Amino acid sequence: MDKKDILLLIDKAIDASKFSHSPYSNFKVGAALKTKEGRIYTGCNIENASFGLTICAERTAIFKAISEGEHDFAAIAVYADTGANLISPCGACRQIISEFCPNAEVIMCNGEKNYRIMTPGQLLPFSFGDKDLKKPTIG
């Protein structure tokens, strides 16, 4: 992706963060997922009083896209106004990104629009996947 496309995706993630439902943490996160065809799906974090039921912005965007029939992703931008610190996906989101967006660029950005791009493999080098569900053959 070129810089113009990256900044557009970041802007979409920033816009998505405005819809965050985060009354407990007040930590607003937005994500924007771009398909290989150029469609963009956004998501925000949605908290619940039963904290384990909270969903992150990245998973919201990915599940939204998959529920619309999408499966080929080019990039996902994750944004939070964290000052100079870049936000990175949590462990659960790294697993979901690894499975559903294995070839996508992961753009982590902050409130100053600084960003860093990594691959899912760099974020989660020993991910669990369908290969781990297959029983080894004996013989």
Over residues 2-31, the pLDDT tens digits come to: 999 999 999 999 999 999 999 999 999 999
For the question of residue 112 being annotated catalytic, the response is no
Residue 119's CB: how many other CB atoms inside 10 A? 16
Q: Which CATH superfamily is domain 3-124 in?
A: Cytidine Deaminase, domain 2 (3.40.140.10)
pTM over 0.85: yes
Sequence ranges of the domains in the chain = 3-124
Over residues 78-121, the pLDDT tens digits come to: 999 998 899 999 999 999 999 999 999 999 999 999 999 999 99
- Active-site residue, from 37, 58, 70, 99: 58
Identify the CA nearest to 35 among candidates 91, 95, 105.
Answer: 105
Could you give the CA distance from residue 40 to residue 17 in angstroms, rounded to a whole number? 15
